[in-house]
Amino acid sequence: MAVSINSVPAAGRLPVVVVGAGPVGLAAAAHLVERDIEPLVLEAGPSAGTAVRGWAHVRLFSPWAEVTDPAAEKLLAPTGWARPDGTAYPTGGDWAEQYLQPLADVLGDKVRYGATVTGVARAGRDRIVDSGRDEQPFTVHIRSAGGREERITARAVIDASGTWSTPGPMGADGLPALGEKSAADRVSYRVPDLTDPAVRARYAGRRTAVVGSGASAFTALAHLADLAGDEPGTHAVWVLRRGITGSTYGGGEADQLPARGALGLRAAAAVENGYASAATGFRTESVEREGDIGSDGRLVLVAEDGRRLGPVDEIIVLTGFRPDLSFLSELRLGLDERLQAPTALAPLIDPNVHSCGTVYPHGVNELSHPEQGVHLVGMKSYGRAPTFLAMTGYEQVRSVTAAIAGDREAAERVELTLPETGVCGGAGLFDDPDAARTGEGGEGGEAGGCCAAPAPLQIGVGAPASSGGC
């Protein structure tokens, strides 16, 4: 295995390493360029927006006007790029092809593909050592697609790697259910693209368990219900850890986020029309195969209380996402013990407190850690919280890059005007161009939401005294 060790250049020439070439990572690079700071974007995948392309068939809840970054648009303008109709709602594929890839192309060799970050540390200091720590640059260890190892020195690190690569498991205790891994050939953690003939054949005429209660689960149920209308024998079993209440399907027609309400109504219709059945209060403990061990039998879900559900042919697990913190283990991060989000940000996004997903503007003050110079941004900054808005991520990196440039006043005075119809979301079924706007869940995550009247809010000064009703 080839190994490359870079010499350490003068501090002023060190780049800022950005992990991830998704919407927020590329926006961070654009803001750094705008401030004459050299970025180096490291993307594990083969192209820009690799995670977004993973849900290319899913339509965002936010229109084009809310999913492009101003600094990025300035970089793109000289190329003749024109932003698509601001009132139209792109799919993940549209977002990647019409905005993210062109932006990455403009950045040129400032973006490296096939570069997986395997570790970040202070040069010559593990997380224990105090002496001279803050004066040391960062070392970023990467592995290329071909297995070559390399070490890059950086003045700061912006981690915008998202959470798409680490979906939540089926087990109700946050760990994989017993047998979940051995049933991997029958378990998916993504909303299926039923326009793909191979995927359609996997679910057509079969019984599928859908585990989860957010917008992604609503979307899967609606897609399977459509399939059931065309393919006899297709049926979904909706596995809910809680019971069905008046809020299970969202607000319906009264929902302040119409697109979210429409999704909930589609899921409710799937159940009412007999295309799906619901198993409530079902906390999965294990997955078993019918027949002998090693057989290709159908699957049975077993709950903590001993109830058995099945048999089913397939399982779709849509229980949210979580951050991969493994490559940051040598850094001193301040993370909330529940959400794994920065401690100052967590109270603003904690679903235990904000049931409707209220999100206030925030920036470098809420995103800072005991380790100076490292920032988790974008969906990763939300840890396990299920809501995220691209506009929020763009404001995050605008504030963070200002702080890196030494413009602390600008970093703390960044303002964000929230859209009238809400600040949350989750990618899902949303094909009606006349529906009101909502936010996208970063990488197709679960939905939540709260509506608020537009209000410019200063980053770093805390939440406002009051907000719009949920």
Structure tokens at 440: 């996208």
> Rounded mean pLDDT of the chain?
83
Does the pLDDT at position 85 exceed 90?
yes
Would strands 16-19 and 374-376 be described as parallel, antiparallel, or unpaired?
unpaired
The mean pLDDT value for 16-38 works out to: 98
The Cα 177–Cα 144 span in angstroms is 33
Does the pLDDT at position 67 exceed 90?
yes
Structure tokens at 338: 């529940």
* pLDDT attached to residue 451: 30
* pLDDT attached to residue 310: 85
132 φψ region: left (φ > 0), alpha (ψ -120 to 50), beta (else): left
More reliable by pLDDT, 19 or 463: 19
Structure tokens at 211: 């585990």
Over residues 91-134, the pLDDT tens digits come to 999 999 999 999 999 999 999 999 999 999 999 999 999 999 99
Cβ neighbours, 10 Å, residue 33: 19
In the sheet that holds 308-312, the strands lie side by side as 284-289, 299-303, 308-312
Lowest mean pLDDT among 167-171, 273-277, 412-416: 412-416
Q: Assess contact for 428 and 216: CB atoms under 8 A.
A: yes
* pLDDT attached to residue 359: 63
The mean pLDDT value for 11-23 works out to: 90
Does the pLDDT at position 275 exceed 80?
yes
Which residues have CB under 8 Å from 246's CB, separation 6+?
Answer: none
* pLDDT attached to residue 12: 58
* pLDDT attached to residue 389: 83
* pLDDT attached to residue 213: 83
Q: Assess contact for 11 and 53: CB atoms under 8 A.
A: no
* pLDDT attached to residue 260: 57
> What is the Cα 101 distance to its own chain's centre?
18
Over residues 184-243, the pLDDT tens digits come to 999 999 999 999 999 999 999 999 999 998 878 888 999 999 999 999 999 999 999 887
The Cα 379–Cα 214 span in angstroms is 16
DSSP state of 97: I
Distance in Å from the first CA to the final CA of the chain: 55
* pLDDT attached to residue 424: 38
Q: Assess contact for 234 and 227: CB atoms under 8 A.
A: yes
The Cα 378–Cα 387 span in angstroms is 11
Please give the model's pTM, rounded to 2 decimal places. Answer: 0.84
At residue 470, what is the residue type? C
> Burial of 127 by CB count in 10 Å (0-12 exposed, 13-18 middle, 19+ buried)?
middle
| Confidence tier at 295 by pLDDT (50, 70, 90) | low
* pLDDT attached to residue 11: 53
> What is the Cα 184 distance to its own chain's centre?
22
* pLDDT attached to residue 414: 63
Cβ neighbours, 10 Å, residue 432: 12
| Confidence tier at 292 by pLDDT (50, 70, 90) | low
* pLDDT attached to residue 420: 39
* pLDDT attached to residue 418: 52
* pLDDT attached to residue 7: 39
CA distances from 8 to 138, 152, 305 (A): 10, 9, 58
